[in-house]
Amino acid sequence: MSQVFMFDALREATDEEMQRDSSVFVLGEDVGHYGGSYKVTKDLHAKYGDLRALDTPIAENSFMGMAIGAAITGLRPIVEGMNMSFLLLAFNQISNNAGMLRYTSGGNFEIPIVIRGPGGVGRQLGAEHSQRLEAYFQAIPGLKIVACSTPYNAKGLLKSAIRDNNPVIFFEHVLLYNSKDELPEYEYSLPLDKAELVKEGRDVTIVTYSRMRHHVMQAVNQLTLEGYDPEVIDLISLKPIDISAISKSLFKTHRLIIVEECMKTGGIGAEIIAQVNDCYFDLLDSPIVRLSSKDLPTPYNGKLEKATVVYPCQIIDAIKAIVDQ
C-alpha cells in the first residue's frame, strides 16, 4: 500500500486504461503538454502522443461533439472539463447526443464516453467556477453520474467508468485533489452503481457524497466521543441512486439525514427524499433532515462563501436534534 494524492490516483487510472486499451484517449483544454489544470493528465502526451492526449481549443460544445462522434466510431474518449461549470456550454451535446443516441439509434450506437473534471465550491473561485452541476445532469435520461470522494474510490471508479459502454459524468471535487489515501499495488476497479458504507451505526443514517463525506466524518468522529452512533453512507452513484443501501440502513436506524453540497431546491437530496417517501416511508420515525448549500450563486467573498456551504458544526447540531428528540 502506498499514500497517493487524488490527482495522482486519477492519473494512474487514466494511464493504466490507456495502456490496456488503445481506443482510450483524453481530450480537453490543456490536457496535453500542460498536463491538465490539476495535473491529472501530466506526462501522458509524452507517453502516448499528442493524438491520445489531445489539446483542444476553448470550445466546449465543439470538442464535446467531437468526442461523442469518436465514441460512435468505436473509440473511448475521456473528456476533461477544465472546470465542470464550463461544460454547460456543451449541455446540448451531453443531453441530446451523449444521453440519447444509444436509444434513438435503436441500440446501433454505443457511447462509451467519460466526462470528468473539477467541480464544487472551492476557495474563492467565484460564482461561475463554483457551480454544483449534479442536479443539472441528473434529469437527463441515458447518463450515469458518479462522484468520487477519496483517492481510493477515485481510481477504482474512473477505471470502471472508462470501461463502461454508456456515458458517465464523473465529478471530482476541486478541494479534494490534494487529499491522500492508501492505494493497493494491484489493479482494482469499483462498481459505478453502488453506495459505500463508510461507518456502521444504529442511531441515524447519514447519506452524503463527495467533499461532504469528509465534513460528515469530522462531525461523526466528535459525536462518537459523546456516545452517539451514526451510520454513514457515501452515495458515490448519483444516478442511479443506490436506494437499496439507504433502505437497508433505515431498517436499523429509522432516521435519515442527507448532507450535500448541491442546491437544496431540486437537488440530489430532494430526489432521495422522494424515493424514500415513495417506497420506505413506514421505516421513518421522524421527518427527513436535509442539509444543503444555499440557493444562490456562490459568493467570491470568503466569509460569504463559507456561509453558503454545510460545515461539521451544522451536521453535529442536526444529528443531536434528530437523535435526542
CATH of domain 196-324: 3.40.50.920
Query: What pLDDT, in 10s, does the model give residues 77-106?
Result: 999 999 999 999 999 999 999 999 999 999
- Count Cβ atoms below 10 Å from residue 43 Cβ, excluding itself: 13
What's the confidence (pLDDT) of residue 234? 98
pLDDT at 204: 98
Residue 71: its pLDDT value, please?
97
Query: How many other β-carbons are positioned within 10 Å of the β-carbon of residue 219?
Result: 26
- Choose, from 45, 129, 173, 215, the residue flagged as catalytic: 129
pLDDT recorded at residue 292:
96
**Which residues have a Cβ under 8 Å from the Cβ of 24 and sit 6 or more positions away?**
14, 17, 18, 52, 75, 76, 77, 78, 162
Q: CA dist 321 to 141, 199, 217, 312, Å?
A: 37, 20, 17, 14
Q: Grid coordinates 430526489 are at which residue? A: 271
Chain position carrying cell 465543439:
62
pLDDT tens sequence across 145-180: 999 999 999 999 999 999 999 999 999 999 999 999
The pLDDT of residue 142: 95
Low-confidence winner among 58-62, 131-135, 213-217 (lowest mean pLDDT): 131-135
Which residue among 12, 29, 60, 260 is the active-site one? 60
CA diameter of the chain: 61
Residues of the chain with CATH 3.40.50.970: 2-183
- Strand-strand pairing, 114-119 and 231-234: unpaired
pTM, to two decimals: 0.95
pLDDT by residue (tens digit) across 1-21? Answer: 779 999 999 999 999 999 999
Our answer to whether residue 60 is catalytic in this structure is: yes
Res 299: pLDDT: 93
Domain 2-183 CATH (choose: 3.40.50.970, 3.40.50.10490, 3.30.2090.10, 1.10.10.1100): 3.40.50.970
- CATH 3.40.50.920 range(s) for the chain read 196-324
Q: Is the separation of the CB atoms in 146 and 247 below 8 Å?
A: no
Determine how many CB atoms are found less than 10 A away from the CB of residue 197: 14
User: Three-state SS for 44?
Assistant: helix
Q: E-assigned strands of 154-272? A: 168-173, 180-183, 196-199, 205-208, 231-234, 237-239, 256-263
Find the mean pLDDT for residues 257-286: 96
